[in-house]
Structure 1
Amino acid sequence: MTGRVLILGGSGEARRLATALVAEGADVLSSLAGRVADPLLPPGEVRIGGFGGAAGLAAWLQSHPVQSMVDATHPFAATMTASALAAADLTGVPLLRLQRPGWFPQPGDDWRWVDSLAEAAVAVAGFGSVFLTTGRLGLAAFAGLTARCVVRSVDPPSPPLPERTTVVLARGPFTVTDELALMRQHGVDVVVTKDSGGDMTAAKLTAARELGLPVVLVRRPPVPPGVLTVATVEDALTWLRNR
């Protein structure tokens, strides 16, 4: 493989892709948004910080030529995905979206789908103890809740937060045993999460099923039309090798 590969990262798939490419001797640059204070860094060169939107990314690509760009950001990083597509159109850099599949319900699941964090807050308004696992940056949507809330995040969340909030600072992956213990300790009666997909945070869904708890899931934003998308690191590697 020749030429530099830019990975817009931050996900587990991005780290695994960078690891595989570096092992093959490829020239890899991973770009992280910098929203986590102590991120897990992939092998290879890493830059941290935003580009300044689509125009900023396009300007960066013009001054730092790359052979290919892989958007392997979080499934809910819709703004970055849109910027990557616009920048690719402006510069002609080939773009691939690497996005893991979403979760699928299993027998015994009580899943309640919503389209936004604001709708999720409405959906849990009548519960007594809410486990919020939607990420620290969207917690303002739940600030009006009067229920007891458990918030888990890697870094401390910033206000506004629900009035009765317990913050648990932890980095996954978590086991089903971990999740069962946390939910029982705090008397959780509903779980709120985004449809992130993958195995790293799926244990909470199994724990909720075992405890008979409902789960409010926020649907993913759609991938913009025209973006070639694959679901696995192996498919991304095949695309890059074929280039």
Structure 2
Amino acid sequence: MILLLAGTAEARNLAGYMKDAGIDCIASLAGATRTPIDLGVPTRVGGFGGADGFTAFLEAEHITAVIDATHPFADKITARTADICKARGLPYLRFERAQWISRTGDAWHRADTYADLERLIPKGARVFVATGRQSLAHYDTLQDRHLMCRVIDTPTAPFPYANGEWIVGRPPFSEADERKTFEALKPDWLVVKNAGGAGGKTKLAAARALGIQVAMMTRPDAPDGIERREQICDALEWAEQF
């Protein structure tokens, strides 16, 4: 039985291919979204309860290998999972999409940390935040900019800063959708994590077309010495071994 740590489009696609190939798989979702898309395979939702809970789950479900297809910025989950699998001698694969690369017409500015945003983004700017609600705690130094944070589910709590607002929307978004959103909200800057993938790329195309500046958060480094795949066919081939 393979454990697939999911939550990305790549994980959803891989789950479908594994099901079609007859590979026993159980998926796990963190539960951050209220109504997640059905993965088509047995799926558990919610945290494991730390390292001990995760180890207990591996034993109880007789997991023979783990594929970590969580978000490229879920570095804490990846590091913990890789360490536990290594300690148990359990095969582990990190499956993540390739990073985005800028092209002619892009106005990207590298941001290695959230602290870089204060330096990059001028005061008074209108900022479209596409890094998720959990990241907002890092934006306290930007309270003299107008922040617009896009979320999937309608928040029950007010926006954490006086100078901002929630923007509710459920992906996927086409380039036309993103252009319409940006034309209505008129952001000067877009803050985005370099997560890669076709789905999120549409907002970058819209920003390019409209001349919006982009603060591109660099991807955290993966743990040393782990197996990695970027193509679904390669990840499926790896899974077929177990």
TM-score (norm 1): 0.93
Distance 1:207 1:41 in 2: 29
**Is 1:116 matched up with 2:107?**
no
Is the Cα–Cα contact under 8 Å of residues 117 and 141 in structure 1 kept in the other structure?
yes
- Per the TM alignment, residue 84 of structure 1 is displaced from its structure 2 partner at its CA by 0.9
Once the two structures are superposed, what CA deviation does each residue of 1:127-162 show, in whole Å capped at 9, x if it has no partner?
A: 521111001111122234222222111024556633
Tell me the residue number matched to 1:149.
Answer: 147
Is the Cα–Cα contact under 8 Å of residues 159 and 166 in structure 2 kept in the other structure?
no
Distance 1:87 1:192 in 2: 33
Distance 1:211 1:220 in 2: 25
- Per the TM alignment, residue 212 of structure 1 is displaced from its structure 2 partner at its CA by 1.4
Amino acid aligned to 1:229: R
- Per the TM alignment, residue 77 of structure 1 is displaced from its structure 2 partner at its CA by 0.4
Query: Structure 1: any 5+ residue segments left out of the alignment?
Result: none
Query: Structure 2: any 5+ residue segments left out of the alignment?
Result: none
SS of the aligned residue for 2:240 comes to: helix
Is the Cα–Cα contact under 8 Å of residues 94 and 229 in structure 2 kept in the other structure?
yes
Partner of residue 63 from structure 1, selected from 56, 60, 64:
60
Tell me the residue number matched to 1:198.
Answer: 197
Is the Cα–Cα contact under 8 Å of residues 10 and 32 in structure 1 kept in the other structure?
yes
Tell me the residue number matched to 1:92.
Answer: 89
**Is 1:18 matched up with 2:15?**
yes
Distance 1:208 1:117 in 2: 20
Question: Which consecutive segments of 4 or more residues in structure 1 shift more than 4 A?
Answer: 157-160
Distance 2:225 2:53 in 1: 21
Identity of aligned residues (%): 34
Is the Cα–Cα contact under 8 Å of residues 129 and 149 in structure 2 kept in the other structure?
yes
Distance 1:49 1:114 in 2: 31
How do 1:1-243 and structure 2 match up within 5 A?
Answer: 4-143=1-140, 144-157=142-155, 158=157, 161-243=160-242
- Per the TM alignment, residue 122 of structure 1 is displaced from its structure 2 partner at its CA by 4.1
Amino acid aligned to 1:178: D
TM-score (norm 2): 0.93
Report how many aligned residue pairs link the two structures.
240
Is the Cα–Cα contact under 8 Å of residues 9 and 31 in structure 1 kept in the other structure?
yes
- CA RMSD for the aligned pairs? 1.6
Provide closer, same or farther for how the CA distance between residues 121 and 31 of structure 1 changes in structure 2, counting only shifts above 3 A. Answer: farther
Once the two structures are superposed, what CA deviation does each residue of 1:182-224 show, in whole Å capped at 9, x if it has no partner?
A: 1111121111110010011111111111111210011111100
SS of the aligned residue for 1:182 comes to: helix
Provide closer, same or farther for how the CA distance between residues 227 and 54 of structure 1 changes in structure 2, counting only shifts above 3 A. Answer: farther
Amino acid aligned to 2:206: A
Distance 1:166 1:62 in 2: 44
Amino acid aligned to 1:129: R
